[in-house]
Amino acid sequence: MRHSAILFSAVAISIAGSQAVPKPGADGKYTISSSGIKAQFIPYGATLTNLFVKDKADKDVDVVLGYDVVDYYAKDPGHPVYNSIPGRYVNRIGHGKYSIDNVTYHTELNDGNNTLHSGTNNWSYRTWNVTAATDTSITFSISDASNSSLNMLGRVEARVTYSVDNGSWSIKMDATSPERKTPLMLTQHTYFNLDAYRNPDTDKIWNHSLYLPYSKRYLEADDGALPTGNVLTAAPGSINDFASQPNFLLGHAKDQPGFSGNCGAGGACEGYNGYWPIENAPTDAVVATLASSFSGIKAELRTDQAGLVVYSCNWFDGTSALKKTQGLSDRHTVGRSSCVALEAQDWVDGINQ
């Protein structure tokens, strides 16, 4: 069982049962809500489409990326994996191969020399089943056939339950392979902008603070974002340090040499696309805090996973539209470095390293 929970608050004030499953709303979305929070979902990818929380002015703010039209999640050729469940094995499989019981399997190369999220038929491209829904929770399930993603063998049964309660959004995932050994690693791939792109001074994510108090180390990676096997300690104040101070901005080291190529791609990837192990954290401790002084929104993450991927949306190019719940009169698209994905998961390429 994998479990994560994110508690949202306005920090400027402080800096399944047997019942029939209801149908979605007229917009094609399922809605769950509780005090201070409302979340909407679709079966395609078991995707979170909207997440409304209160800002410092007590207004509802939609803090995740997505599309207004439900059908476009399946049609967008760019497929940024908006707030969905990729799988059966998330992130990278190095050089598109892995071994189980001394047998080597070759997987689809869809990310340079590596496999990303199990290939181009991963679970974020699939329509899941809605198996339970209440006013405050919804459960999706998927039965993944053997070899539905190249050389991901053995049937897998998986489910995810999303629930909300008093400003908190919780995610519980489990998956089993009853027929044979197979790679399994899951995450929820949510993109955040806590300002909902309404900060008139900037649409960038660099004004958000990120605190990872139990993540003093990070994985060294090559130009393709594949870990080298080295776990490095971030020096205080350095580019990859989010542990030494609780108010470090995501852009705190933006002017330091190396920031423009910190996430690889021959220096073309600016910012972050790496993995920070969570080490020596007490049970149920807050392991990540993302906050914006503009909106006053703070998100606190608790998880039982081994670490956290931080991706600062380097590859968005301004062609993806914002939702009507976001942006300003002169701001309608998702620009480079204007969001951040926080992905609680096990070690990247852990099946090989």
Using one digit for the tens of pLDDT, what is the confidence trace for 149-203? 999 999 999 999 999 999 999 999 999 999 999 999 999 999 999 999 999 999 9
Residues 298-311 have a mean pLDDT of: 98
At 265, is the secondary structure helix, strand, or coil?
helix
Question: pTM to 2 decimals?
Answer: 0.95
Q: What per-residue confidence (pLDDT) applies to 265? A: 87
Is a pLDDT exceeding 50 seen at residue 18?
A: no
Cβ atoms 328, 198 nearer than 8 A: yes
* H-helix or E-strand spanning residue 258: none
Residues 214/246, Cβ–Cβ less than 8 Å? no
Tokens of 19: 């019942």
| C-alpha dist (Å) from residue 24 to 74, 133, 158 | 17, 10, 21
Q: How far apart are CA 110 and CA 216, in angstroms?
A: 31
| CA atoms of 340 and 150, how far apart (whole Å) | 29
**Could you read off the pLDDT of 57-69 as tens digits, one per residue?**
999 999 999 999 9
pLDDT-derived band at 348 (thresholds 50, 70, 90) equals: very high
Secondary structure element (H or E) that encloses residue 73, with its range: helix 72-75
pLDDT, position 263:
92
Q: What does the pLDDT look like over 80-133, one tens digit per residue? A: 999 999 999 999 999 999 999 999 999 999 999 999 999 999 999 999 999 999
Written as one letter, the residue type at 62 is D
Residue 303: pLDDT above 60? Answer: yes
As a whole number, mean pLDDT of residues 11-31 equals 69
User: Does residue 22 surpass a pLDDT of 90?
Assistant: no
* Three-state DSSP state, 261: helix
Q: Which residues pair with 30 in a beta bridge?
A: 41
DSSP bridge partners of 349 = none
**Residue whose pair of structure tokens reads 């070899």 in the numeric block:** 147
The confidence band for 2, taking pLDDT boundaries of 50, 70 and 90, is low
Q: What end-to-end distance do the CA atoms of the chain give, in Å? A: 22
Domain 208-345 annotated CATH 2.70.98.10: yes
Round to whole Å and give the CA distance between 276 and 218: 4
CA 214 to chain centre: 19
Gyration radius of the chain's alpha carbons? 19
> Which residues in the chain are classed under CATH 2.70.98.10?
2-64+88-189, 208-345
Cβ–Cβ under 8 Å, residues 55 and 62: no
Six-digit token string for 245: 């101070």
Mean pLDDT of the chain: 94
Q: Average pLDDT of 198-209?
A: 98
Predicted local distance difference test score (pLDDT) of residue 205: 98
Residue 266 per-residue DSSP state: G
Residue type for 214, please?
Y
Nearest to 186 by CA among 82, 310, 87, 309: 87
Tokens of 310: 């931080």
Q: Is domain 2-64+88-189 classified as CATH 3.40.50.300?
A: no
Q: What is the mean pLDDT of residues 236-243?
A: 96
